[in-house]
Structure 1
Amino acid sequence: MKPLSRYASLNDYVELARSLGLEPARLIRDCGLDPAGFGTQDRWIPAEAVAELLERSAAESGRDDFGVRLAQLRRFSNLGPLSLVIREEPDVRSALRLLSRHEHMYNEALHTEVIEANGMATIRVNVDVGRAVPVRQAVELTTGVLHGLLRGFAGPTWRPMQVCFSRPAPREAATYLKMFGPQVEFDQDFDGILTYSSDLDAENAMADPLLHAYARQLLGAMTPAREATVADRVRQLVELLLPTGRCTVEQVARSLGVDRRTVHRKLAEDGTTFTAMVDDIRGALAERMVANRRHSLTEVGDLLGFSSVSNFSRWFSARYGVSPRQWRATSTPTSA
């Protein structure tokens, strides 16, 4: 199956896109994502769609440094709950290893590797979205974020020996020089950061030794007891795709990197079908949204993927025995 990423991987995207004269909502939809989902940071989305959004944004804005610009806006807290644990690791090496070991908790397409030899530490960055598509902006975003994390761990005076990119040198390198300093090099054999091994021995500038044990306990609580099943991933994608009008088994299969027969077979093994899953998710969402009153019934129908309010009304009446309007009239108003 194709790897997934969290919406948190696009933190600050909307603000940067607008500042560069782009229409972020249109671009987000064009890549098969839901603009409303940016308010749900922990929701999983196809990593390929994230990479595509970054590449399109760079092309349309004419800013070849889009990924690095986005990295400049990142904060340590963008890692979510994992940041609370990494912050308390005693030294830079252990913080970096923990980050690498648990990177799947926030981005399944991201792979970082730390190689130490002859007093040097090479931190390689790779982004694999499951298909041979451009990922340069995603790689540069990741490298920029990693550079910022290392400065947070080692302290503001830390400087890498080299920041390497495999891409050709850009026409305008000002953004790269501003973020990485004169150590940035292009046309290299790998993407990543080169530093001294002794830099990794440094105490983590953010750590509080008294909190380390508690942070490790928190990590144990956060780590999933099992890997997500195909049914879990299909459910997440259905919730994501419903508002876009693209919630088909073919689209879900493409996002997972499998064919539609595999999706049907895996769901059958879990005792369900794609149609039943879509219907159940629609039902759960419809109950909340119809009672909410924040959206008109026409908007609710759109958000649930119906082509018209009459189709939505017929489906709702068949499922609940009353029309959406009657359900709303008898429901206690909610604000969420």
Structure 2
Amino acid sequence: MSTMLTTAVRGFHRLLNHHGLAADAMFIDAGLDPQKLNDAQARYPLDRVRALWRQANEQIKDPCWGLVAGEMWRPTDYHALGYAYLASSTLESAFRRIERYFSIVIQDISVHSDITAETLRVIQNVPAYAPSFPAAHDIRLSTALRLCRDVYGNHFRPQEVQLAHPWQPCGYEDFFGCPVRFDAEQSALSIPLDVARQALPAKNRDLARSNDQILQDLERRLIDNTIVGRVHTAIIDNLPEGTPSAQQVARQLAVSARTLQRKLQEEGTSFQAELDRVRRQLAEQYIQSDAYDLQTITYLTGFANPPAFSRAYKKWTGRSPSEDRAATRP
């Protein structure tokens, strides 16, 4: 059963109250204890939270109700991820942290940051069974906009917003301050690359690094019943000792290497693909955060030496580690 941090639902509780609904009563009816909203260790079942979203969508008559969500959420609702986000050196490194750790907040949603040409495009990968009505997409994108403005400033404007629902008379262009494309394949936020790599005024490497450690500890403690999640955790545990093998990870998970590969194939992936994915996510996060030197990053990502790490990094990103690191500095 997938879960999410109860603190991450505080914004939705505020949103319900904002629209004149009895938030506490609705939470209780959905089987969610509102007293747990401020418990940083508590988690709600995702199916109940999503049932509450659907109920709210039925009761709120304003079709534009999701756009207000950004004003209701706070980065600190995301536990240590929010603090690490606020202390990041650039918007790019901030979203790399979200990409790396968002499953701690919501288990079955992932965030992907993709660089194309001169743009950083931030996409939330949402499962097909999650709410897909227009306000659900508006909530996710208005929250992403709020996160950007919390670290960059209220004058932040995206380059473009893509929404995976038809046009509605909600003044989207005025709200986001940029062109908005509707009926997109995925909802996404596009940011000019020079803006994404501009040094942020509140950057604090020590604070970001200490919260990264908290997040890594949370990730290890979080029970993930998916084979991919368990493989990711095992890979991260073993990387400082070098490149882990499928056999090594299989032993740690108490299955045979053949069974491990078969289970991963059923999920449409492979051990090598997941190993590369984990290494790349860690590498980009560490380079963008500017928290560690190249030798330390090489060790943390399981490479034999810095040249081997640099070759892999350039293969993944098309850029050298030094190019990306220079881009994060003023």
Output the TM-score relative to the length of structure 2: 0.60
The one-letter amino acid paired with 1:183 is P
Per-residue deviation at 1:81? Answer: 2.3
Rounded to whole Å, the distance in 1 between the matches of 2:18 and 2:153 is 30
Inter-CA distance 146–14: structure 2 relative to 1 (3 Å threshold): closer
The separation in 1 between residues aligned to 2:53 and 2:131, in whole angstroms, is 10
How far did 1:144 drift?
1.5
Q: In structure 2, what is the Cα distance between the partners aligned to 1:215 and 1:193?
A: 24
Query: Quick one: distance in 1 between partners of 2:18 and 2:81?
Result: 29
> How many Å separate the matches in 1 of 2:207 and 2:60?
45
Alpha-carbon contact 1:5-1:44 (below 8 Å) kept: yes
Question: Quick check: 1:72–1:179 contact (8 Å CA) kept in 2?
Answer: no
Structure 1-normalised TM-score?
0.59
- Deviation by residue 1:151-195 (Cα, 9 ceiling, x = unmatched): 23333332111111111112x304x44531352332122201112
Counterpart of 1:212 in structure 2: which amino acid?
R
Question: Any idea what SS the aligned residue of 2:144 has?
Answer: helix
State the AA in 2 paired with 1:216: R
> 2-side partners of 1:16 and 1:104: how far apart?
23
Distance 2:43 2:122 in 1: 26
Question: Is the CA contact (8 Å cut-off) linking 1:113 and 1:125 kept in structure 2?
Answer: yes
Q: Which has the larger radius of gyration?
A: 1
| Backbone CA RMSD of aligned residues | 2.5
Q: Does the 8 Å contact 1:3/1:46 carry over to 2?
A: yes
**Cα-to-partner distance string for 1:252-283 (whole Å, 9 max, x where unaligned):** xxxxxxxxxxxxxxxxxxxxxxxxxxxxxxxx
1:316-327 to structure 2, matched below 5 A, reads none
Cross-structure match for 1:61:
60
Q: 1:44–1:92: structure 2 CA closer, same or farther, 3 Å change rule?
A: same
Specify the alignment match of 2:208 in structure 1.
215
Equivalent residue, structure 1, for 2:117: 118
User: Which amino acid is the alignment partner of residue 173 of structure 1?
Assistant: C
Aligned partner of 1:161 among 159, 171, 184 = 159
Show the counterpart of 1:46.
Answer: 45
CA contact (8 A) 1:112 1:126 kept: yes
Aligned partners of 1:58 and 1:65 also within 8 Å: no
Structure 1 counterpart of 2:244: none
Instruction: From 192, 195, 199, give the equivalent of 1:196.
Output: 192
User: What pairs with 1:2-13 in structure 2 (closer than 5 Å)?
Assistant: 2-13=1-12
> Is 1:126–1:139's contact at 8 Å kept on the other side of the alignment?
no
Distance 2:223 2:178 in 1: 46
Structure 1 runs (4+) greater than 6 angstroms displaced: none
Sequence identity of aligned pairs in percent? 17
Question: 2:3–2:43: 8 Å Cα contact kept in structure 1?
Answer: yes
2:222 is matched with which residue: 228, 237, 245?
A: 228
Aligned AA (1:78) = D
Q: Match for 2:193: what amino acid? A: S
Partner of 1:184: 180
CA distance 1:91–1:135, change in 2 (3 Å): same
1:116-155 matches, within 5 Å, as: 116-128=115-127, 132-136=129-133, 137-155=135-153
Alignment partners' CA distance in 2, 1:182 and 1:219: 32
After superposition, residues 219-258 of structure 1 pair within 5 angstroms as 219-224=212-217, 226-229=220-223
**In 2, Cα distance between equivalents of 1:76 and 1:34:** 22
Q: How many Å separate the matches in 1 of 2:33 and 2:162?
A: 34
1:193–1:19 Cα change, 3 Å: closer
Change (3 A) 1:120 1:182: closer
Cα distance in structure 1, aligned partners of 2:210 and 2:22: 43
Give deviations 1:15-50, integer Å, cap 9, x for gaps: 432342323233223322123323435411122222
- Counterpart in the other structure of 1:36: 35
Amino acid corresponding to residue 194 of structure 1 in structure 2: S
Cα drift, residue 212 of structure 1: 0.7
Distance 1:132 1:117 in 2: 29
Structure 2 gaps of 5+ residues are 226-330
Q: C-alpha separation between the residues in 1 aligned to 2:11 and 2:88?
A: 27
